[in-house]
Amino acid sequence: MFKAKLTNAQLFKKLIDAIKDLVVDCTLDCSKTGIEMQAMDQSHISLVSFELKASGFEVYECPKNLSLGIHIESFSKILKRVGNNTTITLKADQSSDSLGILLSNPEETIMSEFNMKLVNIIGDSFVVPDSKYAATIQMPAAEYQRICRDLAIMGETVKIIVDQGKITFSSTGEIGSVNSSLKQDNSIDGNSKIVIESDEKVEAGFTFKYLNFFAKAVPLCEIVRLNLSHNSPLVAEFEIPELGNIRYFLAPKFDNEPDEVDMDKEDDDN
């Protein structure tokens, strides 16, 4: 029997909210070490993954590996019933065709139990290779969200440039252009909120709507880490304190190309 209990159900709701605009169905791969998920959007331009550590749950039991096919929209509807003090418990066994979702108050005197049908998901598994990036940028999650709001006013494509301790996001549209930038924060106490590591100038273009989708993960954490290389997917990492992380991969958009590079093509090229 698989069982996972999280006292802060709002955290789990925010996690599903952070992927629902990208993913229709996904598989939760449950093991002794925790829960993992990896899925690609329908256009194969972006991939999202998350890892939730077993130690981050109040109760976690998974004696045998178990894969659960989830329809995200259905799951999201159930999670709308989550309140500020709601506890969530997930249950399933090897022969289950549904996922048990128990929502309760901390004392478990008020409970609602849902049984959501599982779906069969047929698709290729994706292996994301470990890479060394030309530039790594750490910034407050609130700053990432602010930048996305600035960019939303202008065009559909965003150019990101990292150079000399500075990262600039620029976009041009029918009404004009915008440049939003952050510089390295050289704080005296060494606790810099903005850290930019790059040995060379890096420049790449991406479709804005996906960067904006990624901002849905901002409520989960305080820090965002962006990894960039020439002609390679952007990686946005959001650490979820004490529980795990969520990562987004976005294929680059090249000049004079109507669409982005397919993530599958990126894997083939690598």
Are 107 and 57 members of one domain? yes
Last residue of a domain, one of 70, 91, 117: 117
Query: Which tokens go with 206?
Result: 């991406």
∠172-168-224 over CA atoms, to 5°?
A: 115
CB neighbour burial string for 26-42, b if at least 16 within 10 angstroms, e if fewer: bbbbbeeebbebbbbbe
Write the single-letter amino acid at 195. V
Last residue of a domain, one of 117, 144, 178: 117
Over its length of 270 residues, how does the chain's per-residue pLDDT go in tens digits? 999 999 999 999 999 999 999 999 999 999 999 999 999 998 889 999 999 999 999 999 999 999 999 999 999 999 999 998 999 999 999 888 999 999 998 877 889 999 999 999 876 566 666 778 999 999 999 999 999 999 999 889 999 999 999 999 999 998 999 999 999 876 645 566 899 999 899 999 999 999 999 999 999 999 999 999 988 999 999 999 999 999 999 999 876 555 455 555 555 555
pTM for the full predicted model? 0.89
pLDDT, position 230: 87
∠46-49-54 over CA atoms, to 5°?
A: 175
pLDDT, position 131: 78
User: In the chain, what are the helix, strand and coil shares in percent, each to the nearest 5?
Assistant: 20, 40, 40
Are 108 and 141 members of one domain? no
Domain that holds residue 35: 2-117
Number of domains making up the chain: 2
Are 113 and 147 members of one domain? no
Are 162 and 258 members of one domain? yes
In angstroms, the Cα distances linking 52 to 33, 79, 213, 228 are 9, 18, 20, 24
Write the single-letter amino acid at 123. G
Query: Which tokens go with 218?
Result: 């901002």
Judge whether 122 lies within some domain.
no
Give me the CATH number covering residue 219. Answer: 3.70.10.10
Judge whether 149 lies within some domain.
yes
Say if residues 224 and 144 touch (Cβ distance below 8 Å). yes
Judge whether 126 lies within some domain.
no
d(CA 116, CA 33): 24
Are 161 and 111 members of one domain? no
Judge whether 86 lies within some domain.
yes
Unique residue bearing structure tokens 């954490």: 221
Say if residues 158 and 219 touch (Cβ distance below 8 Å). no
Give me the CATH number covering residue 82. Answer: 3.10.150.10
Strands 111-117 and 98-104: antiparallel
Are 206 and 254 members of one domain? yes
Judge whether 141 lies within some domain.
yes
Are 152 and 93 members of one domain? no
Judge whether 124 lies within some domain.
no
